[in-house]
Amino acid sequence: MKTRMIGSLEVSALGLGCMSMSSGYGPPADRGAMIKLIRLAHERGVTLFDTAEAYGPFVNEELLGEAVASIRGEVVIATKFGFNIDLDTGERQAGTNSRPDHIKAVADASLRRLKTEHIDLFYQHRVDPAVPIEDVAGAIKDLVAAGKVRHFGLSEAGIDTIRRAHAVHPVTAVQSEYSLLWRGPESELLPALEDLGIGFVPFSPLGAGFLTGKIDENTRFEPTDFRSLVPRFSPAARKANMKLVEIIKAIADRKATTQAQVALAWLLAQKPWIVPIPGTTKLHRLDENLGAVDVVLSSEDLRDIASALSEFQVQGERLPEAALKMTGL
């Protein structure tokens, strides 16, 4: 497995997003099978594993902690704080909570669930409008000094927030959605991160599965699958956006590879400090995704993709309205 630098942190060129193993995409997967999958990912060279207290809540961190306990020194654990979750009951209340005392309490709880003495990368899951980002960064600075956290990250944050946080304590990585289906970060976010020397970790790099070609207008989602609520995944939007899938398929056919691998290879080709974290619950999909590291898109491939994208407008918002309001993009 090739490696990349996000800020000062070296990780595998592709990480593994663990959320779908416990939540977000329908019923939770079998716990034992997911522990095995995480360990197989490590055997294949994956070192970056992404989770959050909100995934479950709590159960995804517990899952990852158990899976990597015997290989803790060989992996990078990224988790997140920032939603308003009761640390005793796991009850998720409305809004965000990044008060410094709460951040520190979340860190302690996450350390216990992850069975570790330190969190490698601690992201603010969503910016809290009620708490100055300087106070958030100050809390992380304290956690770093205490040895509980090693690197600071921000998720779905705007440029001004990133710069203000970075001035208090170095931000190692920013995590936001980015794929051929959603290219919003390109105009302002990516140039700012490059200027600051911050790494970028795209989630939903396969467009929540849409770019694989396995979803069409007739696909039905479980009620507990977040895509059932997303405008971009309405039947009409999926039908309109199939043109993008066809664009990717043409490149995949030309290179004798898969659509998922083309979509991931495209992301890897954008910047050397981009590390996508595709998620899966299936071993054959894990292997397919990891194969993207060895897919090289030529300048001609990239030009063809760019030309086709310039003539195509993605239909449907990427998140429900309430969720969009919580992002800085």
pLDDT value at position 329?
A: 72
Q: Which of 25, 55, 123, 178 is catalytic?
A: 55
Average pLDDT over residues 275-301: 97
Q: Taking all residues of the chain, what is their mean pLDDT, rounded to a whole number? A: 97
pLDDT value at position 201?
A: 99
200-230 in b/e burial notation, b at 16+ Cβ within 10 A?
Answer: bbbbbbbbbbbbbbebeeeeebeeebbbeeb
pLDDT value at position 328?
A: 83
Asked, as a colleague might, if the bond just before 57 is cis with ω within 30 of 0, I would say: yes
Closest by Cα among 12, 49, 127 to 81: 127
**Furthest-apart CA pair in the chain: how many Å?**
55
Note the Cα 54 to chain centre separation in Å: 13
The domain made up of 3-324 is a member of CATH 3.30.2350.10: no
Average pLDDT over residues 45-52: 98
Asked if 105 contacts 67 with a C-beta cutoff of 8 angstroms, the reply is no
Task: Give the pTM.
Answer: 0.97
> How confident is the model over 94-137, as pLDDT tens digits?
999 999 999 999 999 999 999 999 999 999 999 999 999 999 99
> How confident is the model over 225-270, as pLDDT tens digits?
999 999 999 999 999 999 999 999 999 999 999 999 999 999 999 9
Concerning whether 55 is annotated as a catalytic residue, the answer is yes
Q: Where are the chain's structural domains?
A: 3-324
Q: Distance between CA atoms of 183 and 177, rounded to whole angstroms?
A: 8
